[in-house]
């Protein structure tokens, strides 16, 4: 497996992982892979990333599974008489760094027996956790971190998506001993231009922990 493979997961389903993925792909010049798409096949996350980036040198790898029903992968697969296996989520071969956007949150089901966190642990994927501040997000973030730690997932740090919250971030970072590696501003209008702005800012102050996934570092 490509040793420069980075997983991006979130503290829950609707946390902005696809927007963060677009920024990361644009900033780092890495390939992108969404292992499974459940629902919205004509407006998939892969298509959305492609529409939001300007880079033509990256590859957006096809999903391992494309399911019609907009539901948790295990439920959509059951409804469509499809069997999901852990090895279905083996990352595609590529000579470039690869960003994997997971489905749902850390403990969302991926197969009938495995969660997202189980998949990350099975493939020993370094992971970036997307967080967003709202009432209850501290608990959700710490629970997600615990789920990853229990399984031995290598958590690089947190990516804060949206408005900052100093008190919440300080508590989470100090309590869990996990650094905040990157930030993406609240985007009132999501467009190629706004993604470019965020990507340039990230690339300009790229944390050392993310350098292995930048294409200029071969």
Strand partners of residue 56: none
In CATH, 5-213 is 3.30.70.2860: no
pLDDT of residue 176: 98
Domain boundaries, the chain: 5-213
pLDDT of residue 217: 46
Report whether pLDDT(7) > 60: yes
φ and ψ of 148, to 5 deg: -70, -45
C-alpha to C-alpha distance for 76 and 200, rounded to whole angstroms: 37
Are the CB atoms for 52 and 195 separated by under 8 Å? yes
Report whether pLDDT(68) > 70: yes
Residues labelled catalytic: 34
C-alpha to C-alpha distance for 156 and 153, rounded to whole angstroms: 9
Report whether pLDDT(70) > 50: yes
Beta strands of 19-95 (E only): which ranges?
31-33, 36-38, 60-61, 65-67
Give the mean pLDDT of 181-202. Answer: 96
């Amino acid at each position: 497996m490509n040793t420069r493979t980075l997983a991006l997961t979130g503290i829950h389903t609707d946390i902005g992982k696809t927007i963060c993925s677009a920024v990361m792909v644009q900033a780092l010049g890495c390939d992108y892979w969404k292992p499974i798409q459940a629902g919205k096949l004509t407006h998939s996350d892969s298509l959305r990333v492609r529409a939001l980036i300007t880079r033509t040198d990256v590859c957006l790898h096809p999903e391992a599974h494309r399911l019609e029903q907009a539901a948790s992968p295990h439920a959509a697969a059951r409804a469509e008489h499809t069997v999901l296996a852990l090895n279905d989520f083996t990352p595609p071969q590529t000579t470039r760094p690869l960003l994997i956007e997971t489905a749902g949150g850390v403990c969302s089901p991926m197969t009938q027996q495995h969660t997202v966190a189980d998949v990350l642990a099975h493939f020993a994927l370094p992971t970036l956790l997307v967080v967003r501040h709202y009432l209850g997000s501290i608990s959700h973030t710490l629970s997600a971190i615990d789920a990853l730690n229990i399984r031995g997932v290598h958590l690089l740090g947190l990516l804060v998506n949206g408005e900052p919250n100093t008190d919440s971030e300080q508590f989470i970072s100090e309590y869990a001993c996990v650094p905040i590696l990157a930030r993406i501003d609240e985007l009132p209008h999501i467009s190629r231009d706004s993604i470019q702005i965020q990507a340039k800012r990230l690339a300009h102050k790229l944390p050392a922990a993310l350098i292995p996934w930048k294409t200029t570092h071969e």
